Amino acid sequence: MGAMNYVSLVAGLALSLTVSGVYGADDLPSGAVRITPKELKWGPGRLPGQELAPLLGDGTKPGPYVQRVKFPANYTAQAHSHPEDRTYTVISGTWYVGYGDKLDPAKLKALPAGSFHTEPANVSHFVVTKKEGAIVQISGTGPTATKFVDPAHAPKK
């Protein structure tokens, strides 16, 4: 091995050791987020029956947020809207979504795992799961809220 190749090899190894030393297995640069499925911290969702795991930000506060929501089997959320634009990715299961001021099964579109969906702010929609339930990743800019078209469908406080 020539002197220049040896110097290049040593310099490359030193750089890789420095970088891996700076950003090791448990050390992230400021502002970075990395979460495995086992590290998710599930808690009560915003609506009865749901479970929520925050990934980034806090949907109840101003600013961007990303969260995962578990919808149990045979779940129904009557027509409602949110004040912010949202994006959704179905992680597992099948999630059924329809638009309108009243739940209409004929308007439901099945979104299996891997599906992507956007939702404009203040547009009434409804969601359903069937026997398998679903986990959905939701992104938006908070603060978020849920406003039911028929206030009688809103959870009792």
Q: What is the pLDDT of residues 59-104, one digit of tens each?
A: 999 999 999 999 999 999 999 999 999 999 999 999 999 999 999 9
Please tell me whether residues 74 and 138 are part of one structural domain: yes
β-strands 43-44, 51-56 pairing:
antiparallel
Instruction: Classify the C-alpha dihedral 39-53-72-45 as positive or negative.
Output: positive
| 91 neighbors 114 (Cβ within 8 angstroms) | no
Triad 90, 131, 72: Cα angle to 5°: 60
Domain CATH number, residue 92? 2.60.120.10
How many domains is the chain partitioned into structurally? 2
Q: What is the pLDDT of residue 155?
A: 87
**In this structure, are 48 and 123 located in the same domain?**
yes
